[in-house]
Amino acid sequence: RSFRGYNRLLTSQIISHYDSINQNKKELPEYFNFASDVLDEWSQLEKVDGKKPANPAFWWVNEEGEEVKWSFEELGFLSRKAANVLSEACGLQRGDRVIAVLPRVPEWWLLGVACMRTGIVFAPGTSQLTAKDILYRLQASKAKGIITSDTLAPAVESVVPDSQFLKSKLIVGKGSRDGWLNLTEHI
């Protein structure tokens, strides 16, 4: 679906920003964080200033037609909560690697933004990975965390003993498993 009339506005803003950088009129930040420097800025424009119409920042539709729509403010709020789960409940820090073996559910994107916020390295993996594939990725990346669904958790559990760096396991879904944190219960 297209958002009629908004393409020109967004394109002109991007070109204007690019031109001002080329003309040395804008100072580039020493550190850039997409979550705080872009998403939170858009949330501010959407919420307080009224300069940006309330279009969804995230819009997900599944095969049954169920929709999840998050505004920039909602995406910011949820990603901060998810970032807290990763940092506090899971004990992950900036530079730590976390592997996400999930189908493309809304939490996949939410956790990606949460990792951007915290500086945790987000390593996405397809839900078609086998236990052998998961073990290889855990060992090669020295991942300290893994995020998966309740249906894929048994494959992860079968390789956990061989993964010496793994310290936290996060599950996305309604189920619970021994030794796993449930994202839904924490945000």
Is a pLDDT exceeding 90 seen at residue 186? no
Residue 56, CA atoms < 13 Å, CB-side half-sphere: 10
Predicted pLDDT at 129: 93
Residue with tokens 């993964």: 163
Contact between 72 and 42 (Cβ < 8 Å): yes
Helices (H), 106-179: 106-118, 131-141, 153-157
Burial, 57: exposed, middle or buried (Cβ in 10 Å; 0-12, 13-18, 19+)? buried
Confidence label for 7 from pLDDT (cuts 50, 70 and 90): very low
Q: Which residue has the higher pLDDT, 184 or 142?
A: 142
Please give the CATH number for the structural domain made up of 34-185: 3.40.50.980
- Compute the distance between CA of residue 170 and CA of residue 183 in angstroms, rounded to an integer: 6
Whether residue 91 is predicted with pLDDT greater than 90 in this model: the reply is yes
Give the pLDDT mean for 82-104: 95
Q: Where are the domains of the chain?
A: 34-185
